Chain A
Amino acid sequence: MSDDVWIIGAAMTPIRRHLDRDVLDLAADAALGALDDASATIQDMGVLAVGTQFEPYTFGQQVQKQIGQTGIPVYNVHNACATGATAVRSVLMEIRAGETDMGLALGVEQMTAGSPPYRSTRPKDRNVFEPDGRDGHVLPTEGVLGTGQMYGVFAQTGTDYARRHDGVGFEQFARVAEKNHAHSTLNPLAQYQRPYSLEEIMQAEMLAYPNTLPMCCPTGDGAAAVVLVSDARLRTLDPDVRRRAVKISASVMTSDPYDPSGLAHPDVNTLTRLAADAAYEQAGVDPRDLDLVELHDCFATAELVHYDNLRLCEPGGAGEWIDRRGPWRDGEIPVNVSGGLISKGHPIGATGVANIYEVATHLRGEAGDRQIEGARVGLTHVIGLGSACAVHILERSAG
Chain B
Amino acid sequence: MSSSVTRVPVVDYLALGDGDPHLVGHRCDACGATHLDRHNACPACGGRAFTSTPLPTTGRIESFTVLHRGAPKHIGPFVSVLVRLDDGTYVKANLVGVPPEASAVDTDEPVHLVTYPAGTDDDGTEAVAFGFAYASGDDRTRDDQHGNEGDDR
Partner-B contacts on A (CB < 8 A): 24-25, 28-29, 32, 41-43, 64-69, 126-129, 131, 134-147, 149, 151-152, 155-157, 159-160, 163, 170, 205-211, 258, 260-261, 263-265
Contact = CB atoms under 8 A, between A and B. Distances in A.
A281 B102 CA distance: 40
Contacts of B39: 65-66
Contacts of A159: 63-65
Given A43-B46, A129-B123, 9 more contacts: A128-B122, A129-B119, A138-B127, A143-B72, A156-B82, A157-B63, A160-B63, A264-B82, A264-B90
A134 B68 CA distance: 27
Nearest to A129: B121
Contact of B75 (A25, A32, A143, A157): A143
Interface of B: 8-13, 33-46, 48, 62-72, 75, 78, 80-82, 84, 88-94, 102, 107, 118-119, 121-123, 125, 127, 129-130
A146 B75 CA distance: 11
12 contacts: A67-B46, A128-B125, A145-B130, A146-B93, A147-B67, A156-B65, A206-B66, A209-B66, A260-B88, A261-B82, A263-B90, A264-B82
Contacts of A152: 65, 67, 70, 80
Given A128-B123, A136-B12, A265 B92 contact: yes
B82 to A, nearest CB: 5
Nearest to A256: B43
B107 to A, nearest CB: 5
B63 A129 contact: no
A129 B119 CA distance: 10
Contacts of B81: 146, 156
Given A41-B46, A131-B12, A145-B93, A66 B40 contact: yes
A28 B89 CA distance: 24
B12 A260 contact: no
B72 A263 contact: no
B93 to A, nearest CB: 5
A151 to B, nearest CB: 8
A263 B89 CA distance: 10
Given A68-B42, A146-B82, A261-B62, A126 B122 contact: yes
